Amino acid sequence: DTGVSQDPRHKITKRGQNVTFRCDPISEHNRLYWYRQTLGQGPEFLTYFQNEAQLEKSRLLSDRFSAERPKGSFSTLEIQRTEQGDSAMYLCASSFLRQGEEKLFFGSGTQLSVL
């Protein structure tokens, strides 16, 4: 499978616990994005990387959230001290820029439930 893969698919945690999600992008893509999606809404941008550099972060990304992309390959998104409001689908996407345009290729997401 050469698509974007995310792990785990589902995560149930108790409020206050830390969680970490992993994303493996399409290998030739140099850009990686994290989005969050709640029921009935479109994906909301969280952050993105070009290679290993984190170039943009949304105001949604509080100091409890941290993302890394060591060596410009896979990425991790960590949420510390989870809150019930963090419950959502966390989507990862990768892309490469071609002629000023890019199309995002999404993984199937990690569904987080905070109890």
Q: Which residues bind other proteins (CB under 8 A)?
A: 4, 33, 35, 40-45, 48, 55-56, 58, 91, 93, 100-101, 103-109, 111
User: How would you class 98 by CB atoms within 10 Å of its CB: exposed for 0-12, middle for 13-18, buried for 19 or more?
Assistant: exposed
Least distance from other proteins to the Cβ atom of residue 78, Å = 20
Nearer to other proteins, 18 or 41 (CB): 41
Query: Residue 19 or 34: which CB sits closer to other proteins?
Result: 34
Query: Which SS3 state, helix, strand or coil, does residue 111 take?
Result: strand
Phi, psi of 83 (to 5 degrees): -120, 160
Give me the least distance between CB of 84 and other proteins, in Å please: 21
**Tokens encoding 24:** 């493996």
Q: Is the sign of the CA dihedral 102, 76, 64, 39 positive or negative?
A: positive
Residue 17 or residue 41: which is nearer to other proteins going by CB? 41
